[in-house]
């Protein structure tokens, strides 16, 4: 089995920057990533996007090219199309690539698997025609595809970014239904002074909102009680805004309630996690160098708490420096990077307060489906708690919630929130699903062939 000083899972800004820095410091480095090309979600397909597409995706997207070039030029090995499905306590990593499973041994493991979109359970969210804002962006980045009548529903910077990108692409959204309650602006205002250190982000935010207004996209603010209508596919979105019930006919809806750390690998490895009230999500507990409670396991990028692409890149480099320093290799200068990182994070408290998830998705109605794989409703989860099921793992065993192919990625946070509310506790005490391998579905025949590849691998 091949062994590396550093194995990085994920080739987004954090993973690429970490690998570049680690190989510069003389560490043997392997990057495993599911996508065919580096970039992660934020810089997806950055290497192959033409100038036209880059122009409509914006200046920040173009930043990814610099990071990807440095990564390609580095000595780090890179395996694309590699789906990591297990990592054991000895940091042995099993991944699937080219229809076969392979194993590598890491001395240090860097989890750079970033963020996932927060689950958004609401009436009708499982209908064909409903997608997420993140998925809309993937279509735009990889294929230049836009929907003609898309209604964006939810809140967060990504909602506005997607809207401006669609406008630039010549297919503005049919409407934006924003779920930020009016009272939030007052709550968020106290973070404004601090956020001014990150004025570039604020300026970008205001520019996006102006662009939306200029394009004449209707914005329905302070929306609540959202329901997506349709029998076999979406036909309309309804909601209350400005004191009246409104209805927008459409065949396409994209939902978004912000992004949260992807915990699958850190949960699988039994790293300690904590619930962050400001981000309203579970975060792995990490030290100032982003090392988890399991020695030698690091989390770089949004996986350690949402900070955005710039922070992700800096965190990736910091992790590499720390690993190099630990083995006595010459590492880069971390102090300046830390200062920049703090500055980049200044805008976060404002964003987290303003764009906290909507009450609608945190406390869905009893009839709303929460676990899509196993078709479990919020009401069933509340009934299980009433019977005495103490937490997410018992609810999972009892109802099968979180047992489907997505392993709880689409319902986990919502289930923890619903149980916590039903018990009068916080997600912090009820905790989260235990995550079991394989992290992604794996063919039985591939498992049966595990280990058979070693001689062939040597010839590669």
Partner 1 sequence: MTNRTADLLVIGGGIHGCSAALQAAMRGLDVVVIEKDTVARHASGVNAGGVRRLGRDYAEVPISQRSMEIWHRIGELLDDDCGFQRAPQIKVAETDADLQDLKDRAAHLRAMGFEHEVVLDRNELRTHLPAVSEHCVGGLASFDDGFALPYQTTFAFQRKARSLGVRFEENCRAQRVERVGSDFKVTTERGVFTGRKLLNCGGAWAGEIARQLGEGVSVEPTAPMMLVTSRMPRFCTAVVGNQSRPLSFKQMANGTVVIGGGRRGRALPETNVSELIFSELRQTAETAMAIFPIMRQASIVRSWAGIEGRMPDGIPVISASSTEEGAYHAFGFSSHGFQLGPGVGEIMGELIATGATNAPIAPFSITRFTPEP
The least CB distance from residue 390 to partner 1, in Å, is: 5
The least CB distance from residue 234 to partner 1, in Å, is: 25
The least CB distance from residue 342 to partner 1, in Å, is: 35
Question: In this structure, are residues 11 and 71 in contact, taking their beta carbons and an 8 Å threshold?
Answer: yes
Task: Quote the CA–CA distance of 442 and 412 in Å, as a whole number.
Answer: 21
Cβ distance to partner 1 smaller for residue 351 or 384: 384
Cβ distance to partner 1 smaller for residue 7 or 314: 7
CA angle 348, 352, 358 (to 5 degrees): 160
The least CB distance from residue 271 to partner 1, in Å, is: 12
- Could you give the residue ranges of the DSSP H alpha helices within 215-333? 264-268, 309-326
SS (H, E, C) 371-428: ECCCCEEHHHHHHHHHHCCCCHHHHHHHHCCCCCCCCCCCCHHHHHHHHHHHHCCCHH
Residues in contact with partner 1 by CB under 8 A are 86, 88-89, 94, 270, 387-391, 394, 397-398, 403-405, 407, 436-438, 441-445, 447-448, 450-451
Cβ distance to partner 1 smaller for residue 230 or 390: 390
Q: Which residues contact 211 (CB under 8 A, 6 or more apart)?
A: 163, 164, 167
Task: Quote the CA–CA distance of 18 and 282 in Å, as a whole number.
Answer: 23
The least CB distance from residue 106 to partner 1, in Å, is: 16
Cβ distance to partner 1 smaller for residue 329 or 394: 394
Tell me which residue has tokens 């597409």.
53
Cβ distance to partner 1 smaller for residue 129 or 438: 438
Cβ distance to partner 1 smaller for residue 117 or 374: 374
Task: Quote the CA–CA distance of 411 and 118 in Å, as a whole number.
Answer: 9
Residue-wise DSSP of 24-37: HTT--EEEE-SSSS
Question: In this structure, are residues 61 and 54 in contact, taking their beta carbons and an 8 Å threshold?
Answer: yes
130, containing H or E segment: strand 130-132
Cβ distance to partner 1 smaller for residue 5 or 374: 374
Closest CA to 92 of 79, 83, 80, 105: 105
The least CB distance from residue 431 to partner 1, in Å, is: 11
52, containing H or E segment: helix 51-57
Cβ distance to partner 1 smaller for residue 72 or 436: 436
The least CB distance from residue 373 to partner 1, in Å, is: 9
Cβ distance to partner 1 smaller for residue 347 or 422: 422
What SS3 class is residue 56?
helix
The least CB distance from residue 416 to partner 1, in Å, is: 16
Residue 248, both tokens: 């927008």
The least CB distance from residue 450 to partner 1, in Å, is: 5
């Amino acid at each position: 089995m091949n062994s590396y000083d550093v194995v990085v899972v994920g080739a987004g800004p954090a993973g690429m920057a970490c690998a570049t820095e680690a190989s510069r410091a003389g560490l043997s480095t392997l990057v495993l990533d599911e996508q065919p090309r580096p970039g992660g979600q934020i810089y997806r397909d950055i290497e192959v996007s033409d100038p036209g597409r880059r122009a409509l995706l914006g200046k920040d997207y173009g930043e990814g090219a610099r990071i990807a070039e440095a990564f390609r030029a580095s000595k780090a090995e890179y395996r694309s199309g590699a789906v990591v499905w297990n990592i054991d306590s000895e940091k042995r990593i099993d991944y699937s690539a080219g229809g076969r499973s392979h194993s590598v041994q890491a001395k240090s493991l860097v989890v750079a698997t970033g963020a996932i979109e927060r689950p958004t359970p609401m009436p009708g969210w499982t209908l064909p025609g409903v997608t997420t804002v993140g998925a809309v962006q993937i279509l735009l980045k990889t294929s230049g595809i836009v929907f003609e009548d898309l209604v964006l529903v939810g809140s967060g910077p990504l909602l506005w970014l997607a809207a401006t990108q669609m406008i630039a692409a010549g297919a503005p959204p049919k409407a934006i239904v924003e779920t930020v309650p009016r009272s939030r602006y007052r709550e968020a205002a106290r973070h404004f002074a601090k956020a001014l250190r990150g004025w570039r982000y604020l300026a970008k935010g205001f520019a996006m909102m102006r662009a939306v207004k200029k394009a004449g996209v209707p914005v329905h603010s302070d929306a609540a009680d959202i329901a997506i209508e349709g029998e076999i596919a979406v036909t309309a979105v309804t909601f209350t805004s400005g004191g009246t019930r409104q209805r927008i006919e459409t065949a396409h809806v994209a939902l978004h309630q912000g992004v949260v750390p992807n915990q699958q690998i850190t949960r699988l490895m039994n790293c300690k996690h904590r619930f962050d009230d400001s981000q309203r999500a579970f975060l792995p507990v990490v030290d100032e160098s982003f090392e988890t409670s399991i020695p030698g396991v690091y989390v770089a990028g949004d996986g350690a708490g949402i900070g955005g692409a710039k922070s992700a890149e800096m965190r990736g480099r910091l992790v590499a420096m720390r690993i190099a320093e630990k083995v006595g290799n010459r590492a880069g200068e971390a102090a300046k990077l830390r200062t920049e990182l703090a500055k980049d994070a200044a805008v976060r408290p404002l964003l987290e307060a303003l764009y906290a998830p909507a009450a609608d998705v945190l406390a869905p109605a009893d009839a709303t489906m929460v676990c899509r794989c196993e078709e479990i409703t919020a009401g069933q989860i509340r009934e299980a708690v009433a019977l005495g099921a103490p937490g997410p793992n018992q609810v999972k065993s009892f109802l099968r919630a979180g047992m489907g192919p997505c392993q709880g990625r689409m319902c986990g946070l919502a289930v923890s929130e619903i149980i916590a509310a039903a018990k009068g506790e916080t997600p912090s005490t009820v905790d989260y699903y235990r995550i079991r391998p394989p992290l992604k579905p794996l063919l039985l025949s591939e498992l049966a062939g595990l280990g058979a590849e070693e001689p062939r691998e040597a010839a590669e």
